[in-house]
Structure 1
């Protein structure tokens, strides 16, 4: 019985590594960049991740780019005076020392406008995204395209 359990665990291990991917640049640690699979009629797609700043100094995410689009932007959701949620572009995003910066549905996110290679935006694929930080420099991550949001973000899904 134990031998059978070990075989099953060994077979499942590569699948765990296939979805968990993390990157480090200086004091910054970027965890699991992901995006939802692009529906056929959607003109844009969003990308999400978490930046852990393990340092004692603030950093700033200045911009992003990707070879699958000529226009990738930093966005946030804000509540209007009328109480509605509205998406807006931001010039940069602070990454406070010792804190986490969360890019998630209904929060900060990367908008990839009019992607040119839609074939990379299907479930199971990955595409490159370069994050340009003020202190840590440039970090290129691979964004995992998924059919649904990770379990910890299931309740926050939205489309553009």
Structure 2
């Protein structure tokens, strides 16, 4: 009986665990938990976030992003300019050897323009990332009401 209850509990918890943590690999590049915040249905844009780890001994670059859910996807960053925070498009993002690039609110992010419709909490949509050396990988962006908890310790 205890085994049945344990298995049932594990089965019920597993989908939520999978929904929270999902990771992808292409060559030496590891992409951790791609996500987007749920936006109001009338919002014309959305943003996607993730962490890119480079486990190799050579630097790489994220060159482009595409998705079928938006008319256009661009790499962007927030910068401080004249005492203000400003968002601007970047042509690529360097991923240092043995290092990482964080795509997060108020930092690097993927901007999605001309959305066909806003995704809701719990839904997912595809995003294709193209790296200079590692090549192309398709990830699933998990849409969430709130930003995921930040890890207490950073590498």
User: TM-score w.r.t. structure 1 length?
Assistant: 0.87
- 2 CA distance for matches of 1:46 and 1:27? 25
1:8 aligns with 2:9: yes
Shift of 1:115: 0.7
Long gaps (5+) in structure 1: 154-160
Long gaps (5+) in structure 2: none
More strand by share: 2
Match of 2:120 among 107, 119, 122: 122
**Aligned-pair Cα RMSD in Å:** 1.8
- 2 CA distance for matches of 1:99 and 1:76? 18
* Residue of structure 1 equivalent to 2:34: 33
* Residue of structure 2 equivalent to 1:20: 21
C-alpha distance after superposition, 1:60-110 (max 9, x if no partner):
0001010111210000000012x1110000011101010111000000000
* Residue of structure 2 equivalent to 1:103: 103
Would you say the 8 A contact 2:19–2:142 is kept in 1?
Answer: no
* Residue of structure 2 equivalent to 1:158: none
Task: Return structure 1 stretches of 4+ with deviation > 4 angstroms.
Answer: 2-7
* Residue of structure 1 equivalent to 2:91: 91
* Residue of structure 2 equivalent to 1:157: none
Aligned length in residues: 150
* Residue of structure 2 equivalent to 1:64: 65
- 2 CA distance for matches of 1:142 and 1:7? 27
- 2 CA distance for matches of 1:62 and 1:14? 32
C-alpha distance after superposition, 1:93-150 (max 9, x if no partner):
101010111000000000000111x15x111111000001000111110000111110
Shift of 1:59: 0.2
